[in-house]
A and B are shown apart, each in its own frame.
Chain A
Amino acid sequence: MGIPKEKLEELYLKMAQTRRFEETAARLFTEGKVHGTAHFCIGEEATGVGVCSALAAEDLIAQTHRGHNQAIGKGMKIDRMMAEFLGKESGYCHGRGGCMHIADYGSGSLGANGIVGGGIPIAVGAAFALHYRKVDAITVCFFGDGAANEGAFHEALNLASVWKLPILFVCVNNYYAMSTPLGEHMNIEDISLRAGSYGIRGQSMDGNDVVSVYEAALEAKDYVKKNGPMLLVLNTYRIAGHSKSDPQNYRTKEEVESWKGRDPIQNTRSRFIAEGSFTAAELDALDARAAGDVARAVEYAEASPEPDVSEALRDIFAETK
């Protein structure tokens, strides 16, 4: 399908880095090295990586609290992410936000949001600024199936639609709003149907196929620049628990196992080998690179100093010049 091998390599590597980052973060939790929480996207890596790999540096993203894949996809550095996770001064937010609020404006990230749906109107505002300044770029707004029931979702999609703003709404549907299954929290199976009521285009697809997601995002980016907003629903599954305290009593082991069979990283690996685009050894080398990157990130983060308590009140306000 004409995707350069370097891009395919990028897709695989970023997914592998995300998985390794989260598995390592989980281990650090069990070792008692983490104060706070994090929300893992294990099983959902193809969504954020696929979409963000289709974006240019000047495109903006608004992330979810479950967005390590989105952050790595947009080019954020793993070492500074890990430092933020450990609450260190060298983290992207200097230990003030943690993973739930990770942001790097330099990479085009408007930050992850701890309020479900809270980032959607903000992303619309960013898209408005791009439109107003006539910048040739788009904003991508990530949110989950749960957020699609927040009022902010409705208000934001409607506003973006009437103003025809360059924004791609990406709903990462993992079929659970925390513990509540999709069938209990909305009465439609295909979330993209909601697009029609705002007069915008909607599309729903397999969110575990990173190559298809990447291609769909490229096309959607083009569409959004010309026509205004679009809602892209990526259907996936959170193999990991909701957060560190998830008792996992709301779903069966069989269901989780069946989705493990659709693991986006394993599937991509098998496909790349079957298609002959990569050898197993090449992919092993990428896995090893991801592991090395994360190991170095942990070293960096652990060696980084704690924030100075004398600066706890820094950055509550900007200094107006």
Chain B
Amino acid sequence: MREISYAEAIREALSEEMRRDDSIVFLGEDIGVYGGAFGVSKGMYAEFGGERVRNTPISETAIVGCGVGAAMVGLRPVVEIMFSDFLAVAMDQVVNQAAKARYQFGGQFKVPLVIRTPSGSGTGAAEQHSQSLEAWFVHTPGMKVIAPSTPADAKGLLKTAIRDDNPVLFLEQKLLYRVKGEVPDGDYTIPFGKAACRREGRDITLITYGRMVARCLEAADSVKVEGIEAEVLDLRSLAPMDKEAIVSSAKKCGRVLIVHEACLTGGVGAEIAAIVADSEAFFHLDAPIRRCCGSDSPVPYNRTLEESIVPGIPLIADAIRSLCR
């Protein structure tokens, strides 16, 4: 199968969908001739023109709000927020408007809006361009939250997001943009709420998503020589979340390690731990449920400091060992 990058897979999904459906419009800062801050929309302005690939002012509230309004009256907007941190600028439109419009108006409106945005640290972009804010939105009923870890998933999940009739926050992992992987040609979708088992195991389940999937796989490989077979479950979709896959893998392996880049306290990992603790899997546990997550810290600029606050492969491997001891 051909290999393309995560960024190319996203562009392919968006372009194929725009060719298929003229109600899809694409709005954002510098997405036109410039091609987007991370190059995701390279060439799209030339193909679709300025009417459908619309450069906006630097106005995150207006970008998201415009997407909400256009979605309410029948378009299917995809908006790009240059860094997920900037969602804080547009928070009212995301939380109070997009996520509420259907419910508060008694089901009169659909809001088929996709908010695409790069998430995560690792680029030296410091405190205001490196956060992993998914927990805010998982905690907002009315939002769907997606975090793909491979190019193939990015394509299939983005197509599902665009075809979904609800607001979807599509958290692209900025360190994965250039990572290549096998991506099927043509049209396919991946359903929301279905985790992917990336590595089968029997001793411990690593539950993770986004760019931590690759680190968990490496950590799992590194403990294999010690006789530990770790399963790696990639959630892909954080809201809705595949509780069934979480519970059944936890039940099978009896040990659970949750890994995410976002800071520990109040993070999605706490919810995952609660799902396991509150299920029949609890009675199969041989060790406490543990989280290996980002430190409760802003993301620093310095490369060494920055890396020190996210879970590294040795840290994950050590956590696996301590649970399997």
> Interface residues, chain A, CB within 8 Å of chain B?
60, 62, 91-97, 101, 103-105, 110-111, 113-115, 118, 120-130, 132-133, 151-152, 155-156, 158-159, 162-163, 314-321
Contacts and interface: CB of A to CB of B under 8 A. Distances in A.
- Most chain B beta-carbon contacts within 10 A, residue among A62, A111, A133: A111
Contact of B104 (A101, A125, A130, A152): A101
B61 A92 contact: no
Contact of B106 (A94, A125, A129): A94
A91 B106 contact: yes
A73 B254 CA distance: 63
A151 B97 contact: no
A128 B51 CA distance: 10
A93 B56 contact: no
Given A121-B69, A125-B65, A156-B65, A314 B107 contact: yes
27 contacts: A93-B104, A93-B108, A95-B106, A110-B109, A111-B104, A118-B92, A118-B96, A118-B97, A120-B65, A121-B61, A122-B65, A125-B69, A125-B72, A126-B69, A128-B25, A132-B25, A132-B75, A151-B61, A155-B57, A155-B62, A158-B57, A159-B57, A159-B63, A163-B54, A317-B165, A318-B107, A321-B165
A122 B93 CA distance: 8
A101 B105 contact: yes
Interface in B225-277: none
A317 B163 CA distance: 14
A104 B105 CA distance: 8
Contacts of B56: 159
A130 B25 CA distance: 13
A125 B103 CA distance: 19
A149 to B, nearest CB: 14
A125 B104 CA distance: 19
Nearest to A100: B104
Contact of A125 (B67, B108, B142, B166): B67
B164 A124 contact: no
Contact of A111 (B62, B65, B75, B105): B105
Contacts of B305: none
Nearest to A94: B106
A88 B104 CA distance: 13
A114 B165 CA distance: 23
B39 interface: no
A213 B75 CA distance: 32
Interface in B132-176: 141-142, 144, 163-166
Contacts of A124: 62, 65-66, 69
Given A111-B104, A319-B165, 14 more contacts: A60-B73, A96-B105, A97-B105, A103-B105, A105-B109, A110-B73, A118-B96, A121-B64, A126-B69, A132-B75, A152-B62, A156-B66, A316-B102, A316-B103
Interface string B92-122: 1100110001111111111110000000000
Given A60-B73, A320-B166, A92 B141 contact: no
A132 B165 CA distance: 20
Nearest to B59: A155
Contacts of A130: 73
B74 interface: yes
Closest A-B pairs by Cβ, 5 of them: A121-B65, A125-B69, A93-B106, A315-B107, A155-B62
B65 A318 contact: no
A125 B59 contact: no
Nearest to B58: A155
A122 B68 contact: yes
A237 to B, nearest CB: 28
